[in-house]
Amino acid sequence: MNVLGRHLLLELRECNPTYLDDLEYVKEVMVGAAQSVGAQIIGESFHQFKPQGVTGVLAIAESHISIHTWPEWGYAAADIFTCGTTVDPQEAAQILIEKLESTRPYMTEIRRGVEVPDLVSIP
């Protein structure tokens, strides 16, 4: 089976806590990242937590971009999952890293849909 999609898991440490607690800013950054890589936004949902934090999901035709923030820790967890070859999730990830001012980002990429002999099949 060919790779059907690329799924990036982002650990965004040492971010600007003010940005992480600003729903409109987080939304603007995510929408901007999606648009800049040519993703087609088909839906969205964002929520501001009290006393702090933001969560958000962009449904894109290519799959999704999501985030959950902990301003008190300067930390955000984000997912970027894209199917096909027209959208580069790593470009979108770099935008999130830069705009949230993460000084210690960590990224894991999972190739979705591939056959990997080492994986255990769950019945």
Instruction: List, in order of start, the domains of the chain with CATH numbers.
Output: 5-103 (3.60.90.10)
Q: Is the pLDDT of residue 108 over 90?
A: yes
Average pLDDT, integer, range 76-88: 95
pTM of this prediction? 0.90
For the annotated catalytic residues, the residue numbers are 63, 68, 83
30 backbone dihedrals φ, ψ, rounded to 5°: -65, -45
In this prediction, residue 118 has a pLDDT band, given cuts at 50, 70 and 90, of low
What average pLDDT does this structure show over 23-46?
98
Distances (CA, A) of 7 to 11, 24, 62, 67, 74: 13, 25, 11, 13, 23
The pLDDT confidence band at residue 6, using thresholds 50, 70 and 90, is: very high
pLDDT over 70 (residue 115): no
56 touches 81 (CB < 8 A)? no
Q: What percent of the chain has pLDDT over 70?
A: 92
